[in-house]
Amino acid sequence: MLESGHAYVIAGREEDVGAVLDLLRERGLETEANPDLYIRHYGQFGIDDARMLRERAALRALGTQRVFVVSVDSIQADAQNALLKTLEEPPGGALFFILHPAPDTLLPTVRSRVQILSLPQHVVHKPAVDAVSFLKATPAKRLDMLKPLLEKDEDDPVKPGGHGAGRRDFGEILAFLSALEKQLKTSTSGLHAVYRARRYITDRGALVKPLLEQVALLI
């Protein structure tokens, strides 16, 4: 059930958007052919996406309220900072629902401006790599288990400016690192490797494979 608020972050992915729409319908919102309802998925949400979202949020609603349901696989730090004011004081009373695979990896300044909303357990995404099995495996086996996270989507189109074309699923990577951190108890070097990977892995030009391999070898 939704509490009183204007910005929510939900642990979920693109396939969970339907569950959010169910919640909105329960609240009395029309989700079919509603010009005030904006639904969008982003692989890697960047600063330009944040600016565009801010501009859309500033537009006047045709009805009573604009509602944004946005799913992201990952969101860059500069994009998070660009959304702070919008999330804290949405223009025109806009309502935001942001689905992210690992909300605990978002900046504290973002988390302090939103409410964390949980979806029913049956819609929770099952990670590609199980953190518990990963920890029990040998280092060599762990490196092999990383392969699904390192694969690229060859059908991913090139965006203007040359972005895209074989991007990795950063949503899966962040969800895996978040689950791994929750399982680690006493491994200081392992926790440091996970923290380092989570912090830098979505940066432009980040060396994804070495960061994940370091995690596999140090935990």
Domains and their CATH numbers in the chain: 7-123 (3.40.50.300), 131-218 (no CATH)
Q: Residue 63 pLDDT more than 80?
A: yes
pLDDT score of 186 more than 70: no
- Detail the DSSP E strand segments found in the chain: 7-11, 37-45, 67-75, 95-100, 115-117, 152-153, 158-159, 163-164, 167-168
Lowest model confidence (mean pLDDT) among 78-87, 95-104, 191-200:
191-200
Which pLDDT belongs to residue 160?
A: 39
Q: What is the mean pLDDT of the chain?
A: 85
| Helix (H) or strand (E) segment spanning residue 185 | none
- Per-residue pLDDT band for 158 (boundaries 50, 70, 90) equals very low
Q: What is the pLDDT of residue 196?
A: 84
pTM: 0.74
Handedness of CA 127, 176, 199, 149 (dihedral sign): negative
Which tokens sit at 57?
Answer: 């949020």
Q: Are 83 and 118 spatial neighbours (Cβ–Cβ below 8 Å)?
A: no
Helix (H, G, I), strand (E, B) or coil at 8: strand
Assign 123 to helix, strand or coil.
helix
